[in-house]
A and B are shown apart, each in its own frame.
Chain A
Amino acid sequence: MNPLYIALLALNALIFLDYKFYRVLTYAVVFNMIIAFIGVQSEPMSGLVLVFFGCILFPVIMWFAIGSCEREERESLLEMTVIAAIALVAIYGFLSMIGITEDHALLFTVFAFSLVAIMTSKNLLKYIFIFDAAENTLILTAYSFFSGNMVLNIPAVIFIEIATFLPLVLLTYLTVRIYKRYRSLNPWHLWQSP
């Protein structure tokens, strides 16, 4: 079992559970650095693309976003720990059961856990960190399936990164605007009728 994949899973859980956003940002940066490190090992140039987007652009944007919003999450995260533990075990068990290799099961667990985290999180800023973790995990999964395969070459990685990163930037911007307008980062306000 690759220890780096286990580290990714642990960091993803920390991103979900910690309530101080600057600390969450640190976990997210370490998460992206591990992803980029694995990426560089499979294909150096593509790994550098991940470094640029995940370890340089993303932290800068999120630094300003956190500064413009709240520094801490208001809701208690205690019950989330239980949800996180159950979700992790259930997802990993399901993916192993349907027969994918151990390393890929870990990667997909990170992705599936991100989806569960999005469903259960009560904070709009958290969504962005979780989305970032999910998309970077997916790109890394593509690498691990296809290291050295020319189907997923440099332009492909750049296009995919740009296509996924731009909506993430927009979501961050809109989160800041939402906070400035409603003074709340609770997602439930958004789905109520105006």
Chain B
Amino acid sequence: MASVAIALVVLSIVFPLLSALVFVAVRRSHKRVKSLLYLSQAIISLAIVSALYFFIGEGFSFDIAMLSFSVTPILYFVALAIVLANFLIMFYNVGHGYTGAMEYDIFLCLLLASLVGGVFASDLITNYIFLDLTLFSAGYLIFSIKEGVRAAYQFTFMNFLASIMMLFSIILFLSYTGSFSIQPLGTVHGLEKLLVFGLLVGVLTKVGAVPFHLWVSSAYSESAVPVAAILSGAANCVGLLMLYKIMPILQMGDFLRAIGIVTALYAAAVSINQHTFKRRFAYFSIAETGFIIYAFALGSQLAVMGGFLLLITQIFAKPLLFLISGLITEEHGLLKRIHNFIVFGYLAGSFSVAGIPVTGGFLGKYLILFSAYTARDYIPLALLLLASFFLLRSFLIGYGKISALKQESEPHFATLASILILAIIVIVIGIIPLMSGWIWNL
């Protein structure tokens, strides 16, 4: 059983890489053939990760070629959410704007492999390697639109600088502990402070927390819609997971809580004044990151549960919003016939971000704020509520704009289906815990 489980984990990382080779082989084929392969790859990846469900049990760890992986039920669900969101984004892309460019397909495969690897990575160096591969593939994908060269450079430069800082810290960590396994350092003084500082700056830059968020708005708003959708949801989630994993090393709960609050408050406030939907959604994304950082830094079981719930919800909610932004040409508007679909999707995504019932975002934020209340963290609680209010205000401004848009062209069935499914998932994540009743017994 264990060997099958290990084989499935390895396959979930290796399969997208092998698919990349297939895209090289069929580079001269018709666009329709490529789109079929493109979807098949996403479906098979989803099937592989789904099959893993029957083998995880209480979880397991293993090493392969010096890379260490750990599969726990919660990490499994995060990985499942990533491959499912990836499939829906691919499905959308086939209906809307798929060019059939070989590089684009290859780098998407590489990105998926590095994201799944990043979720299951357990030690510092494995996390570092997969985060760097994510940086490489995402950086190129941002550049898949020629106008995105500036955003791609900003993204690659800042994240590469962050990677160098992390590598510095990892090597120092190795010198102290003699291994890459994540473990507390004990008393922090002298060089250990540099170690913690490097790791902290590195991972906060990768998740786009304030004040290291300079690359976020341009990377999300100037890249292709599917790329922005994957980056804001899944790629951001892998960075946040690394932050959660290295918490025992950082031991800077108070500082990280402050970072989380400042990030949520700043991004929520700035999102109000954004003139394009993509930039508005980019700041939504940063604000969500702030909430999750706060939850992980608070560290109570309830807060971490809320953080993970928000993390899984954002894997669907943020792509949902970005995919909708792809259907809106702000000068011309969108088609009236599908207007209700778009509004439904926008409401589901924005309700989740603003923390309005009944969405996964509401439940996650409710758990986080409830944890802050029980921890007597009243000032942060008030500030996070203020951030939620700003997000609500921003959502209402966006809703006003979306309602005023006119019709243009008819989107493909796949495009609409993806948006509808993503919206339903965002709502279902919020409803299931309410229906099962455990939330009322907290």
Contact = CB atoms under 8 A, between A and B. Distances in A.
Given A145-B175, A170-B140, A98 B190 contact: yes
B66 A156 contact: yes
Interface string A27-49: 00000000000000000000000
Interface string B148-162: 011011101101110
B51 interface: no
A12 B190 CA distance: 25
Nearest to B151: A194
Contact of B125 (A138, A160, A166, A181): A160
Contact of A163 (B129, B143, B159): B129
Contacts of A163: 128-129, 132-133
A178 B153 contact: yes
B168 interface: yes
Given A135-B167, A138-B171, A174 B156 contact: yes
B140 A131 contact: no
B174 A142 contact: yes
A42 B125 CA distance: 21
Contact of A174 (B149, B175, B214): B149
B168 A153 contact: no
A138 B143 CA distance: 29
A162 B153 CA distance: 20
B182 interface: no
B55 interface: no
Contacts of B133: 163, 166
Nearest to A169: B136
A21 interface: no
A52 interface: no
B136 A138 contact: no
A98 B197 CA distance: 15
Given A99-B190, A151-B179, A171-B160, A190 B128 contact: no
Contacts of B178: 149, 151
A58 interface: no
B135 interface: yes
B157 A164 contact: no
Nearest to B149: A177
Interface in A117-167: 118, 124, 127, 131, 134-135, 138, 141-142, 145-146, 149, 151-153, 155-156, 159-160, 162-164, 166-167
A63 to B, nearest CB: 21
Contacts of B16: none
Contacts of B214: 191
Nearest to A146: B174
A151 B180 contact: yes
Contacts of A138: 164, 167-168, 171
B10 interface: no
Contacts of A181: 149
Contacts of A152: 174
A111 interface: yes
Contacts of A178: 149-150, 153
A33 to B, nearest CB: 21
Contacts of A194: 150, 218, 222
B100 interface: no
A164 B167 contact: yes
B168 A168 contact: no
B157 A135 contact: no
A175 interface: yes
A6 interface: no
A124 B149 CA distance: 14
A119 to B, nearest CB: 10
Given A134-B164, A167-B132, A167-B136, A191 B180 contact: no
A159 B222 CA distance: 31
A83 interface: no
Contact of A190 (B153, B159, B163, B167): B153
Given A151-B180, A152-B174, A178-B150, A170 B139 contact: yes
A100 B180 CA distance: 21
A175 to B, nearest CB: 7
B191 interface: yes
B66 A159 contact: yes
B67 interface: yes
Contacts of B159: 167
B70 to A, nearest CB: 18
Contacts of B156: 167, 170-171, 174
B164 A151 contact: no
Nearest to B168: A138
Interface string B111-151: 00000000000000100110011011001100100000110
B379 interface: no
13 contacts: A131-B160, A131-B164, A138-B168, A159-B66, A160-B125, A160-B129, A163-B132, A167-B156, A167-B163, A170-B156, A177-B149, A178-B149, A194-B218
Interface of A: 98-100, 111, 115, 118, 124, 127, 131, 134-135, 138, 141-142, 145-146, 149, 151-153, 155-156, 159-160, 162-164, 166-168, 170-171, 174-175, 177-178, 181, 190-191, 194
Closest 4 interchain pairs by CB? A163-B132, A166-B136, A163-B129, A98-B190
Interface of B: 65-67, 125, 128-129, 132-133, 135-136, 139-140, 143, 149-150, 152-154, 156-157, 159-161, 163-164, 167-168, 171, 174-175, 178-180, 190-191, 214, 218, 222
Given A171-B157, A177-B149, A191-B214, 13 more contacts: A135-B167, A138-B164, A141-B171, A142-B174, A145-B171, A151-B174, A159-B65, A163-B132, A166-B132, A166-B136, A167-B132, A167-B136, A175-B153
